[in-house]
Every structure is written in C-alpha cells, then in structure tokens.
Amino acid sequence: MGPGRRERMRFRQHGGMALLVSDEGVNLLASLIGSSSILMGGLGLAGGLAAGWVLWSWHTGRGATGRIHGNLRQLAENIHADLADLQLRDAQDQLSKGWNTLIKEITAVRRELDESQIRQQAKETVGRYQTRWLTEILNAMPAGLLIVSNDWTITFANESAARLLHAEADGLPGHRLTEFLGEELAAMSLTGGAIVDRVLEVRSTGASLRLTSIRSDDGADVHETALSLSDMSLQREVERSRSQFLYHVTHELRTPLTNIRAYAETLSQGVLTDPSALRECYNVIIGETQRLSRLVEDILSLSQFEAGAARLVMDDVNLARLIRQVVEDMQASADEKNIDLRLSLPPKVPTLRGDKDRLAVVFTNLVGNAVKYTPSHGTVEVTCEPGDKRLRILVKDTGIGIDRTEHEKVFEKFYRSNDEQVSRVPGTGLGLALAQEIVRAHGGTVELESELGKGSTFTIVLPVESLAAVQT
C-alpha cells in the first residue's frame, strides 16, 4: 500500500488458485453479481506462499492483480459496462486464467438474471394486454354484463350494462345493484350459486330489464355471480313488429284468396253460360293469382335484403333503355286516368353496373306509385340527370303528396298512410321499402321531397362506373 494508506486484504480462492482482493474489491464484486451469493461463496480463504506473491504484485501494480484492481475501479464507475472488457488479455498465468473464468461465470449469471427480468416483464405486459383486450370485448357486447358479490355489490360492469342502468360504467363498481333495480331484488339471495331469472324495473326510468345469472359449473365456492342484462322493451318491440308483419301478410293474402274462391265457386256451379261472363271470371282469377305471386315475391325479396342474403346479378345496364321500357309499361295505366306521363332523358346516359331485374323493380314501383296516387288529369314526369360519379333519376308527380311527418315512415314495410285518399287506393306498403333496399344494395340512396296536396318527388341516386355513355 502507499504511504499513509491502509487496506485490509482478504484472500479468496477460486479454481484452485489464490486471489488477493481488498475490501473495496469484494464490495465491487458483490455489486457486479447482484444477488448471486453462490458465486461469492466460491471465493474461499487461501494463504501461504501464493498469497505473499500476490501481495507483492499488488504493491508493485505490475502484475495481474494490479490490472484486476484497475478493471474493478473502471467497473465501479459504470456498473452496467460490458463484462467482456474486464477479461485479461494474454492470460498465461494461473491467476489471470482464473480471473477470466470468474468473469465468464459472472457474465452468465448476469445474462440469466436479465433474461429472467425480460420474461417477467413480457409476462406482465401480456397480462395487461389480455386484460385490456378482454375488457374491450366485454364493453363491445350489445348485452349488459355485470359481476356482483353475494351482497349485490357490483365489481364489474360493461358499457351496455351501464347504459341500461342509466349510469357511468366507471361509477358502478362499489355500488349495490339494488340501488338501481326494483326493491324485490334486495329480498333475493345469491349465496350457494342461486339461479336468477327475473324481469325488474329500473328505478330511474321504469324501463323493464331481464336479469339472468350465468352459471359456473366448476364446482368452486362461488363468491361472485355474473349477470346478463337485456332490454325487454326492445324484445317487446321485436315481437310487436313480428305480430304486425303477420297481420299485414294475412290481410293482404285474404283479399285475393277470397276473390279467387268466390269466382272459382261461381264457375264450379255451372250457372254461367255467357262467354263474356265466363271470361271475366277467368280474368279475375288470373289477376288475383298474379297479385298473390307479386306479394309473395316482394315479401321474400325484402326479407332476403333485410337478412343480408339477397344476391345481385351484376352486369352492365343500359339505363336509358330500362327506364324507357318501364314508362312504356305504365303508359296504359296512366291513359286510364288521363295522366300525362312524360319521360325526359339527356342525349347520353352513362352505363350503370347493377342488377337489371332488381333495378326494374325499383323504377316500376316508383313510377307505378306516382300514377296510382296522382288524380286524373295530373302529371307524372321521369327525368335523368347524369353527373361525374353519380346518376340521379327523378320521378315527380302532381299527386296527393305525403305529410312531412310520414317521410321516414313510408319506407317502412307494410306502412300505409292513414290519409283517406291513400286508403282508397289498393296497395301492400312494400313497394317503397323494397325499392330502398335494392338501391342501397347498389350503393345508392332514395330521397323524398313532398308536401301534402302538392305532389311528391322521389330521387334515386346511383353511383356510375367509368364506362362509355350510351346514346339515347
């Protein structure tokens, strides 16, 4: 040691050789290997002649011990330095080789500790991700989900449950479910895995909710129960819509079936001998069967579109020819009422990519409605307005018009206005609903402008392909 300086020297043994290390060196080694006390225990006490030689090398600073001491000081300045830099190059003597072996073992321990920390961090990260991912899935569920303890204290609530209870999802945990639902819930017990299936009222709104427990069959002692919440008002609306649908279908089927039966019975009695009377009976029967066929076809088509099962046969459609054909088919009906049915087409109409038969149904329904609901001596005009990427087909009439309060309702299936002028005209209430579904399937929209007593304008907006326009 230098003048005026003392350090207690400790002899440690490693790999059959003696290593002289100061207290400072021992502390540095302890910091280097962290919690690896096993390796430190391997550095045992030695002595003898080898210790004397090491002591001489330490004082002179010219041997391996001096370089080891310098490396330890360097490590003290940066404990996270690369341990490979601490190895002694040109290690020929036993002390240098032993030191390098020790560094390799400490490096392996550090690597193992680092890998263990990385694995633990990865496990925690995955756990947090899975928890967040599961929470997002539960919050996206349309049904309400609650987890409650046996005293009805809420421990988890998804966003749908909070919406049904008219509360904030973050504010529900810690509150009792009995604060939000009817008083009869407080008399019910969840202990012993009790089954819950009740319809209860929300205290704040009076809405009806169905509360159903989700059973767990793992046989464990149950301290929490998962509950699903469903809005009974929505289910009742679905049932009401189903009942209305059946009522309208039954009503629409009854009239043509009654006519068919009446005329068929008349023919079966053989009392008619006049050829014109017989022909009239046959025509009525044929007409009513066609009416039934159209009704069933419209119902099936509309149901397919609503279920997403309808298929479009896409092809290039000559729209000008299609519209002209529809107007020609409606001309006879317009002439019966002395209605001026006009068609105005530009010199060129873009080719449309679509289902020709389905689009024919759209134009037939709109032009047919315009003729039906326009009084005698009125006007129905069909025009086409091409654009860069959109094509507008307008069907304008001078008919009875539609009240503003009914603009959205007229596109509902089976809806018919209560207006007396409308009720006098036969119809099923399916035409506009089906037309809107077909246009939507083509990526377009149906717009309505109308005032009661001033006529209506239905505008079909369809996207067009970048194809050559067809000369009209």
Alpha-carbon span 76 to 24, nearest angstrom? 10
Q: How confident is the model at residue 56 (pLDDT cuts 50, 70, 90)?
A: very low
Give the pLDDT of residue 396: 95
Q: Is the pLDDT of residue 158 over 80?
A: yes
Please compute the mean of the pLDDT values over residues 280-285 and round it to a whole number. 89
Please compute the mean of the pLDDT values over residues 219-248 and round it to a whole number. 75
Alpha-carbon span 5 to 23, nearest angstrom? 13
Give the pLDDT of residue 338: 94
Max mean pLDDT range (18-27, 81-90, 162-171):
162-171
User: Order of strands, edge to edge, in the sheet holding 224-231?
Assistant: 154-157, 144-149, 224-231, 208-214, 197-201
Looking at every residue in the chain, the average pLDDT score rounds to 77
Q: How confident is the model at residue 324 (pLDDT cuts 50, 70, 90)?
A: very high
Return the C-alpha torsion angle 66, 70, 72, 74, nearest 10.
-170
Q: Is the pLDDT of residue 296 over 50?
A: yes
Give the pLDDT of residue 340: 94
Please compute the mean of the pLDDT values over residues 275-280 and round it to a whole number. 88
Which residue ranges form the domains of the chain, and what is each CATH number?
A: 9-115 (no CATH), 141-233 (3.30.450.20), 235-307 (1.10.287.130), 315-471 (3.30.565.10)
| 3-state class (DSSP) for residue 92 | coil
Q: How confident is the model at residue 3 (pLDDT cuts 50, 70, 90)?
A: very low
Q: How confident is the model at residue 176 (pLDDT cuts 50, 70, 90)?
A: confident
User: Quick one: the chain helix, strand, coil %, rounded to 5?
Assistant: 50, 20, 30
- Beta-carbon contacts of 418 under 8 Å, excluding residues fewer than 6 positions away, are none
Please compute the mean of the pLDDT values over residues 116-137 and round it to a whole number. 73
Q: For 26-54, what is each residue's pLDDT tens digit? A: 444 444 444 334 333 333 323 333 344 44
Q: Taking a C-beta distance cutoff of 8 angstroms, is the pair 161, 180 a contact?
A: no
Q: Looking at per-residue confidence, does 85 or 277 come out higher?
A: 277
Max mean pLDDT range (28-37, 70-79, 322-331):
322-331
CA distances from 237 to 60, 217, 240, 254 (A): 98, 34, 5, 25
- Residue at token pair 């539960």: 138
| 3-state class (DSSP) for residue 456 | strand
Q: Looking at per-residue confidence, does 195 or 433 come out higher?
A: 433
Alpha-carbon span 364 to 345, nearest angstrom? 17
Tokens of 320: 């000008």
Give the pLDDT of residue 472: 53
- What φ, ψ does residue 225 adopt, rounded to 5°? -130, 135
Q: Taking a C-beta distance cutoff of 8 angstroms, is the pair 29, 72 a contact?
A: yes
